[in-house]
Amino acid sequence: MTEKSSRRLSARQRLETPRAGRGFRLNYDVEAVGRVSESIARFLGTGRYLAFQTIFVIVWIALNLYAVGMQWDPYPFILLNLAFSTQAAYAAPLILLAQNRQENRDRVSLEEDRSRALQTKADTEFLARELAALRIAVGEVATRDYLRRELDEIKTLLADIEAQRSGEPADHDR
């Protein structure tokens, strides 16, 4: 590397040297442009717009064919074609911009849906484990029938013990 190129390189890296020229810079809000393009794209996709455009074309052609003194665009209607070409040149990028913004919103919404679905799945699995633990715990809890059988068995054993002490035969039918 030569000394001259190293000086040039160091001048680019220095903080006191501006990177960009002092030319005119156009500052605009990207979101505002996007919102305007979406509103235009929404309007271009409506039946109202098609009706307005159809009426405009009919009036344009009628005036140029029948109003002899006002023929600013004679039969091949070059000016009308130019207007439609200009409109199409602006409409297509605006529609694409609106579609890109919609894709971005859809992507964010999809990511939120995925995270919500993962959280719901985790919650469902937790609740399933808790429910299984409760079922196991309930299976170990003494039921009314179980307690009755146990008490009847204790009653029978007590009756047998009482009968043995008194020397009488045990009466299990009481």
pLDDT of residue 23: 67
Does this model's pTM top 0.75? My answer is no
Distance (Å, whole) CA 163 – CA 32: 99
* Ramachandran class of 105: left when φ > 0, alpha when ψ lies in -120 to 50, beta otherwise: alpha
User: Which structure tokens are listed for 148?
Assistant: 């009755």
Tokens 């030569």, residue located: 2
Q: Give the start-to-end residue ranges of the domains of the chain.
A: 25-113, 142-174
Distance (Å, whole) CA 17 – CA 24: 18
pLDDT of residue 10: 60
- For the chain, the C-alpha Rg in angstroms (whole number) is 44
One DSSP character per residue, 55-70 reads: HHHHHHHHHHHH-GGG
User: Can you give the pLDDT of all 174 residues of the chain as single tens digits?
Assistant: 555 555 555 655 666 766 666 667 777 787 888 888 888 888 888 889 889 999 998 988 888 888 767 778 887 888 889 988 998 898 888 888 888 889 999 999 999 999 999 999 999 999 999 999 998 888 777 778 888 999 999 999 999 999 888 876 656 555
Angle between helices 30-44 and 47-66 (to 10 degrees): 70
pLDDT of residue 20: 64
In degrees, to the nearest 5, what angle opens at C-alpha 107 toward C-alphas 106 and 111?
115
pLDDT of residue 145: 85
